[in-house]
Chain A
Amino acid sequence: MSDFGGLQIDVGGVVLDSPVIIASGVWPMDPSMWPEASLKGIGAICSKGTTLEPREGNRGKRICETHCGLLNSIGLQNGGSVSFVQNDLPALASSGKPVIANIAFETLEELRQIIERLNSERDLIGALEMNVSCPNVSMGGMSWGVDMDSLERAVTEARCKWRGPLWVKLSPQAPSIAVAARICEASGAQAIVVGNTWLGMAIDNDREEPFFERIFAGLSGPAIFPLSLRLIWEAVASVNIPVVGCGGICGPDEALSMFLAGASAVAVGTGLFLDSSLPVSICFKLSRHMENRAIANIKDLVGRGRHFRGETGVAG
């Protein structure tokens, strides 16, 4: 049962009681570590990116605060797909929230094998979320989400093997988000998440060297919000499947803007580092805004900001 009337929405085959999703990689995988205040308002939880085999993650410093933002170089530290299915997945599912299983892969063979493992626990998974920001090893390390041929191959392969709802989490580094979104839709994705962190870097001026061992790192937080919003705007205009808005949402107002731009749900990451009650604050804001305008269902809020000057290009 939804705590907030009118906020329930079907996003690419997953029914969410609230349209606020916990983004991948920011929240403990063990629900006993979730502050009570955060539980209300969460519509679904994305798991930390799972790879086929366990990964230790990156050495050296992993986080660096920037002006209004956060650079991270975690390096997909995770226990691998076997441990995910045995430990994390049942734990996450015990929260009662739909689990969005976020996966990362470097080859199509890895992708196939991860999906095979996840298919065995299909019932515990709301949707599979493909993180395509990782390198495609056979393409010389260029990320799947940046090379459109790789993207098409990966999504097609996943659609063919995965038995449940399929979401793709796009990279802001894609040369055109509209093209990437269309490729995902045409290849069988039921929703796209726009997007992941923006590639950035920091230099340690005292040491006169890059701050991170891997030089580049992913930027998240309020600094990227306007960039993300623009991507949502472009993506929504180009596809008919739902778009989940993600990137820099640290307060209810930004979340509302995402819906007005056409997002069917939002995912929050860095904002939770500041306030674990962000999901419920977003729900209150959406409810109030809808009430004031006599909007009964969140579906009718989606894309309302696009009706200016006659534009109606809202998909989904």
Chain B
Amino acid sequence: MMNQLLTGPHKPPIDLKGSLVFSEAVASGCRYVRIKTDLTIPASSPGQFFLLRESRVSDPLLGRPFASINASRNSVDFLFRVVGRGTEILASLPPGTRVDLRGPCGNGFPVPRSRRLILVAGTLGIAPFFDAALRYGSTQEIITILGVPGHEWREFAGWCKERIPDIRIVSDDGKIGNSGTAVEEAVSMFRSEDEVWACGPIPMLKNIGILHSAGCERLFVSIEKRMACGMGGCLGCSLQTCSGTVRACVEGPVLEWKEVLWNE
């Protein structure tokens, strides 16, 4: 399958136990957490993710998938937004809580080949790009674009800017950074030899296809699906592509834009 070709053979994720070290509120209903694990975390690449759940608890039952924003041998950081019951409960866990992690799951973004890499994020879609900016900052010229709806995301945008100082922020209402969408900003920056990675809501990922029409040959998107096993067993995360049905947790979540059947 195409993404296997890009990332080499898959390694199964492993199950790890750990403890919540800290959990900080970042404005806009977001949470920044760090997990310290008992055992070593296998090396991961940007775009790979972990399933996170509270240990020995049956409700919520399943781990929730989050991209790691920074991982070392024994600790991994996540940035997530409270959108429902699972994330609400995860956000309320006090430091010291025991948690289960499964990962690293999925393929992650391929090693960039172009000199310049444009990272395009819609709100929490920024999560995998902290790691990417750090990892490839010394070998690639990187442009990171964050799009947010409006002024209520000011603190969140500020939090991201502290970590990626040259991030370009745009907002739909023009109250933070330039006015416009992340896709519009990417289009204005794009040069034909650039590689572009995008992560965010589906409509944004679909729209970024405009760069495909503009000649972008390496255009990758990270797609979110509900997940149960995170390791290719349950087929709960299946996704239609030009090459057939794939599992977002194994052959994805990163796919070439042109492979995705956007109207399915």
Contacts of B231 in A (CB 8 A): 28, 33, 35, 276
Interface string of B45-87 (1 = CB under 8 A from A): 0000000010000111111000000000000000000000010
The answer to whether A273 and B14 touch across the interface, beta carbons within 8 angstroms, is no
The answer to whether A35 and B15 touch across the interface, beta carbons within 8 angstroms, is yes
- Is B217 among interface residues, defined by CB-CB distance under 8 A? no
Distance of A72 Cα from B234 Cα, bound (Å): 9
- Is A230 among interface residues, defined by CB-CB distance under 8 A? no
Contacts of B63 in A (CB 8 A): 273-274
Which A1-57 residues sit within 8 Å CB-CB of chain B? 25-28, 30, 32-37, 48, 56-57
The answer to whether A36 and B14 touch across the interface, beta carbons within 8 angstroms, is yes
* Chain A interfacial positions (CB closer than 8 Å to B): 25-28, 30, 32-37, 48, 56-57, 61-65, 67-70, 72, 74, 77, 221-222, 250, 270, 272-277
Closest 6 interchain pairs by CB?
Answer: A63-B236, A28-B232, A27-B233, A68-B58, A222-B58, A62-B236
Given contacts A33-B12, A63-B228, contact A273 B235 (CB under 8 A): no
Distance of A274 Cα from B99 Cα, bound (Å): 11
The answer to whether B10 and A70 touch across the interface, beta carbons within 8 angstroms, is no
Which B212-264 residues sit within 8 Å CB-CB of chain A? 226-238, 245, 250
Contacts of B228 in A (CB 8 A): 63, 70, 72, 270, 273
What are 10 sample pairs from A and B whose C-beta atoms fall under 8 A apart? A26-B229, A33-B232, A37-B14, A62-B238, A74-B235, A270-B61, A270-B228, A273-B230, A275-B100, A276-B14
Contacts of A34 in B (CB 8 A): 12
Given contacts A35-B12, A63-B226, contact A57 B233 (CB under 8 A): no
Contacts of A74 in B (CB 8 A): 234-236
- Is B13 among interface residues, defined by CB-CB distance under 8 A? yes
Interface string of B1-34 (1 = CB under 8 A from A): 0000000011011110000000000000000000
The answer to whether B245 and A274 touch across the interface, beta carbons within 8 angstroms, is no
Contacts of B232 in A (CB 8 A): 28, 30, 33
Question: In the complex, how many residues of chain B place their beta carbon closer than 8 angstroms to a beta carbon of chain A?
Answer: 31
Contacts of A272 in B (CB 8 A): 229, 233
Contacts of B62 in A (CB 8 A): 65, 70, 273-274
Distance of A250 Cα from B61 Cα, bound (Å): 10
Contacts of A221 in B (CB 8 A): 58, 61
Distance of A157 Cα from B224 Cα, bound (Å): 44
Contacts of A72 in B (CB 8 A): 228, 234, 236
Chain A residue with Cβ nearest B51:
A273
Distance of A69 Cα from B58 Cα, bound (Å): 8
Distance of A70 Cα from B15 Cα, bound (Å): 20
Among A28, A30, A64, find the residue whose CB has the most chain B CB atoms closer than 10 A.
Answer: A28
Contacts of A273 in B (CB 8 A): 61-63, 228-230, 234
Contacts of A48 in B (CB 8 A): 235
